[in-house]
């Protein structure tokens, strides 16, 4: 029988009993030789591992290299195509502006002529002032009359007397053309404009003649034989020394030509027909020089005045000769469109000139002397969808044809001509698709869309 008062088994355990201490292991000392051996073993393993990987990757590397080379060739081809397209578009941009060197190097602009007062009756008007013009001493006669001219008194005296003497007329005209003083040449030009356009009849002993205008224009540097000297390169007319290009006197020259053409009631005619034709051609050609672009309004007024100077009997033949002359001179680029578009279609005469100039330039573009239907058939026969087709020339021809036919007289061309034009426009309407990257394709498409709408009203 178990004694209930006896201690339990765990009560005999020693609470402070400790587990036996593990025996300490002795650390092994690693020498330098062992470290070197381990290092060389690791290097050897790494080298062998790389060799195995390299052997395994030979075949895959060859395939990757071939793929990489193909990609590089493809990228190179795309870049070459893009470069070619860029150069073509750059060429298109360079050709997209009109400009021509109408004026070259200026001549001698010095002006030293003096007013000859020896036989000038006008000096009698100043007798009461006590000035002796025949023996002036230190008195400057030219400065005195220049002051009267600038202040407007000389004009009033002449209009009151109703007479312009030869010496005075020559002196004031030279001041107009060659004076370097802005106020003097402007006043001299105003003098002549007031005399020529005065309601009161005034006797002018020496009228301005065309030879004087032509001489002055030559001194300004105008290139009469511009078929050899004209350049449409922008730098050719914007760079260079200051003596190249027209002087400021060109303003009063244009203004005086306008007044002379409007003052036809004078006893002496300003121009004969051949002179008027040459003058009109010179004025039209001035529109090509960007350096006088600010004078476009004055040139336009002058152009209208010269056109109005022709008689009805001579205008028909004169317009043909002027058109042929301009067609020979103008470069076959955007300058040809500028020449046509600068002619204002404000009346029947100017519209006829505009139409004939466009037609003559169009003929010269093809170097073939043909009629209206022949020109349109040549245009229709052009393969506009061919890759090498010159769309810039097509664009020029579209603009010239527009000005030729839309400004022509209704009875000048039959319905057959306009039908051929519609056929040409229909053919050109295929140009300018999204995949058509040719230079001027988009401009041709826009032009055709506009002209198609115009033709529907014809």
Task: Judge contact between 270 and 259, C-beta under 8 A.
Answer: no
Section 297-302 average pLDDT: 96
Give the model's pLDDT for residue 45. Answer: 73
Pairing of strands 203-204, 163-164: parallel
Contact 304, 262 (CB under 8 A): no
Round to whole Å and give the CA distance between 258 and 122.
Answer: 28
pLDDT band at 240 (very low <50, low <70, confident <90, very high): very low
What are the tens digits of pLDDT across the range 305-360? 999 999 999 999 999 999 999 999 998 889 999 999 999 988 999 999 999 999 99
The DSSP element (H or E) to which 203 belongs, if any, is strand 203-204
pLDDT tens digits, one per residue of 48-97: 666 655 555 555 556 666 777 777 777 877 777 767 666 655 555 555 68
Q: Tens of pLDDT along 384-435? A: 888 888 899 999 999 999 999 999 887 778 788 889 999 999 999 888 777 7
SS3 (DSSP) at 238: helix
Q: Give the pair of three-digit tokens for residue 362.
A: 């169009």
Mean pLDDT, residues 157-164 taken together: 90
pLDDT cut 70: percent of the chain above it: 74
b/e map of 34-49 (b: 16 or more CB within 10 Å)?
eeeeeeeeeeeeeeee
pLDDT at 237: 46
Domain ranges of the chain: 370-457
pLDDT of residue 276: 95
Mean pLDDT score, 246-270: 86
Give the global pTM.
0.76
pLDDT of residue 128: 55
* Contact assessment for residue 302 and residue 254, using Cβ atoms and an 8 Å cutoff: yes
Question: What's the half-sphere exposure (Cβ side, CA atoms, 13 Å) at 200?
Answer: 12
Is residue 229's pLDDT more than 50? Answer: no
Instruction: Collapse the DSSP code of 8 into the 3-class scheme (helix H, G, I; strand E, B; otherwise coil) and give the result.
Output: coil
User: What whole-number distance in Å separates Cα of residue 343 and Cα of residue 188?
Assistant: 29
Q: 287: Cβ–Cβ under 8 A, 6 or more apart, which residues?
A: 296, 299, 338, 339, 342
Closest CA to 120 of 165, 153, 151: 165
Percent of the chain topping pLDDT 90: 42
What is the pLDDT, as a whole number, of residue 234? 40
Average of pLDDT values for 246-272?
A: 86
Place of tokens 């395994």: 56
Nearest CA among 416, 374, 422, 415 for reference residue 398: 422
Burial (Cβ within 10 Å: 0-12, 13-18, ≥19) of residue 204: buried
* Residues sharing a CB contact under 8 Å with residue 117, sequence separation 6 or more, in sequence order: 123, 133, 134, 141, 167
For 106-128, the pLDDT digits (tens) are 888 877 677 877 777 777 666 55
Stated length of the chain: 458
pLDDT of residue 239: 44
**pLDDT at residue number 183:** 95
Given a cut of 60, is residue 21 above it in pLDDT? Answer: no
How far separated are the first and last CA of the chain, in Å rounded? 141
């Amino acid at each position: 029988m178990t004694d209930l008062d006896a201690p339990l088994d765990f009560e005999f355990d020693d609470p402070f009993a400790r587990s036996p201490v593990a025996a300490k292991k002795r650390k092994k000392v690693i020498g330098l030789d062992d470290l070197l051996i381990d290092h060389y073993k690791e290097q050897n393993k790494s080298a062998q591992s790389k060799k195995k990987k390299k052997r395994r990757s030979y075949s895959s590397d060859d395939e990757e290299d071939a793929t990489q080379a193909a990609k590089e060739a493809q990228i190179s081809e795309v870049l070459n195509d893009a470069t070619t397209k860029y150069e073509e578009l750059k060429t298109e941009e360079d050709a997209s502006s009109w400009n021509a060197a109408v004026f070259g190097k200026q001549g001698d602009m010095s002006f030293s002529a003096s007013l000859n007062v020896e036989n000038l009756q006008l000096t009698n008007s100043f007798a009461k002032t006590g000035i002796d013009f025949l023996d002036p001493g230190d008195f400057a006669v030219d400065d005195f009359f220049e002051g009267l001219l600038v202040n407007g008194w000389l004009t009033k005296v002449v209009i009151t007397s109703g007479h312009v003497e030869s010496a005075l007329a020559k002196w004031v005209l030279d001041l107009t053309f060659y004076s370097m003083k802005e106020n003097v040449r402007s006043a001299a030009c105003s003098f002549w404009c007031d005399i020529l356009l005065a309601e009161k009849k005034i006797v002018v002993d020496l009228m301005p003649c065309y030879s004087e205008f032509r001489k002055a224009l030559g001194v300004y540097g105008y290139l009469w034989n511009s078929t050899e000297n004209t350049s449409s390169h922008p730098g050719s007319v914007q760079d260079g020394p200051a003596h190249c290009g027209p002087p400021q006197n060109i303003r009063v020259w244009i203004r005086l030509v306008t007044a002379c053409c409007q003052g036809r009631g004078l006893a002496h005619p300003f121009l004969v027909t051949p002179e008027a034709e040459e003058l009109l051609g010179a004025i039209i050609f001035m529109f090509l020089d960007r350096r006088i672009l600010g004078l476009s309004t004055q040139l336009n007024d002058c152009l209208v005045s010269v056109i109005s100077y022709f008689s009805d009997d001579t205008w028909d033949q004169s317009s043909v000769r002027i058109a042929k002359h301009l067609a020979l001179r103008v470069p076959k680029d955007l300058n040809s469109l500028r020449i046509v578009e600068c002619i204002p279609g404000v009346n029947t005469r100017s519209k006829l000139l505009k139409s004939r100039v466009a037609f003559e330039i169009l003929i010269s573009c093809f170097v073939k002397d043909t009629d209206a239907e022949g020109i349109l058939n040549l245009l229709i026969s052009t393969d506009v969808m061919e890759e090498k087709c010159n769309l810039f020339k097509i664009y020029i021809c579209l603009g010239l044809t527009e000005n030729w036919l839309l400004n022509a007289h209704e009875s000048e061309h039959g319905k057959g001509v306009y039908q051929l034009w519609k056929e040409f426009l229909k053919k050109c309407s295929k140009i300018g698709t999204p995949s058509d990257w040719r230079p001027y394709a988009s401009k041709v498409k826009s032009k055709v869309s506009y002209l198609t709408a115009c033709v529907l009203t014809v």
